[in-house]
Amino acid sequence: MPLIVKDIAAAVGVLLVVAAATSVIGTLIVPRPISSLLTRQIDRVVNVGYLSLTKHIKEYKRRDRVESTHAATLLLCQLAAWLLLFFLGFSLIFWPLAGSITEAFHTAAPALWEIGNDHARGAAEQTILYIASITGIVTVTLQIAYLPTLYSAFNRRETAVALLNARAGVPSWGPELLARTHYALGTGVSTIDTLPDLYESWESWAADVGESHTTYLPLVRFRSPRPLSSWVTGLLAVLDSAALILSLSPQLGRQYSVEVPARLCLRSGFLCFREIARAMSFDVPEEPDPSGGILLTYEQFLDAIERLKRVSFPTERKPEDAWPDFVGWRINYEQAAYAIAREVDAVPALWSGPRRHEDCPSIPPIRPPEGRMAQKS
């Protein structure tokens, strides 16, 4: 083989090593979202694989069981792709120094797993061998050290989602959150005064999730332990409840000091959805077009008001008057929330948009049977 061909191959090998190293550093070390073509392609391939596995599974709970391994598969594929690129890259770098391409591969393979190799000859080859060895060890070590960070963020996220399930139903729904908060387990004493604390905690939650899930994008694929629970529908339910109380009962919001925490929660929530959607390469506008409207229909809005009326939730404005204000709030986060929910195949809760599986009806919140005693609700 002509030397010029080997030299070109070595240059390609250097590019492969640099590309893999850049991807590793951007994904595992740099504390901000770094666009990596390699990780995006891996995510796309794994996603297509799981879409093929689940496209014929109509029951959502069965589909959720299969998709629960999606995040773990993605992490393993990332590690395998990095090591494969390093292996190919260092093998090509070794080629001009080795007698043949076969010997180059034979020299590079053990280098990614151990220090030193009997096949190395000369200072240059031994130096490259050491670099390859350290690269393999560092990559595996960083991936292992990466896991506690992921699971710490996952636990923080899911603790708040689990606490929300009792208030917003399973799956979570914004009108259900308001109805249950006012009904207060049938005690006859409304607990609307607890909403400011709820919105303040979810304002902080949204900021934390927005930061962690854009920095460590595989977190988006981590599913909740319960099949009918999801961080996407949880945040969507909280934002919808805030938009509802601000548009339907503004005086009630002021009376219980809900207005400011609700507005801040909405702001933090739609920024969270937008940032994550952009990190997932969705085209979400910085400022939505008010004339575009929302996908949620007025009839669905009226159904929610009927749910509130059944528990005598105090509404101050007529539905037709409150609807434009509600649309004005929801237009800020609906597109991003729907895109994320569809992509991760979140539980099809009410008001959470379409899914990528055609036969996927919305699941209403599970409620206690009529007439059940309050203490058992």
Neighbouring residues of 120: CB distance < 8 A, sequence distance ≥ 6: 107, 126, 129
pLDDT digits (tens, 9 = 90+) for 5-26: 888 888 998 999 999 999 999 8
- Ranges 45-49, 107-111, 279-283, 339-343: which has the least confidence: 107-111
Distance CA 280, CA 274 (A): 10
Domain boundaries, the chain: 3-145, 169-376
Q: Which of 347, 263, 363 is nearest to 63 (CA)?
A: 347
Question: Is the pLDDT assigned to residue 161 strictly greater than 90?
Answer: yes
Dihedral (C-alpha) 302, 306, 309, 311: value to the nearest 10 degrees? -130
Angle between the 231-248 and 334-344 helix axes, to the nearest 10 degrees? 160
Determine how many CB atoms are found less than 10 A away from the CB of residue 285. 10
Distance CA 249, CA 175 (A): 13
Distance CA 172, CA 161 (A): 9
Instruction: Decide which of 55 and 193 is more confident.
Output: 193
pTM for the predicted model, two decimal places: 0.88
Percent of the chain with pLDDT over 70: 92
Percent of the chain with pLDDT over 90: 65
Q: How confident is the model at residue 56 (pLDDT cuts 50, 70, 90)?
A: confident
**DSSP string covering 244-283:** HHHHH-HHHHHHTT-HHHHHHHHHHHHHHHHHHHHHTT--
SS3 at position 349? strand
Neighbouring residues of 368: CB distance < 8 A, sequence distance ≥ 6: 376, 377
My answer on whether omega of the bond before 175 falls inside 30° of 0, hence cis, is no
What six digits make up the tokens of 287?
Answer: 């400022």
Distance CA 288, CA 328 (A): 10
Residue with tokens 């203490």: 375
* Alpha-carbon 33 to chain mean position: 13
Question: What pLDDT is recorded for position 157?
Answer: 97
| DSSP run (H or E) holding 82 | helix 70-94
Question: What pLDDT is recorded for position 30?
Answer: 82
pLDDT digits (tens, 9 = 90+) for 299-308: 999 999 999 9
Q: Which of 261, 250, 259, 342 is nearest to 295 (CA)?
A: 342
- For 349, phi then psi, to 5°, come to -70, 165
pLDDT digits (tens, 9 = 90+) for 183-241: 987 888 899 999 999 999 999 999 999 999 999 999 999 999 999 999 999 999 999 99
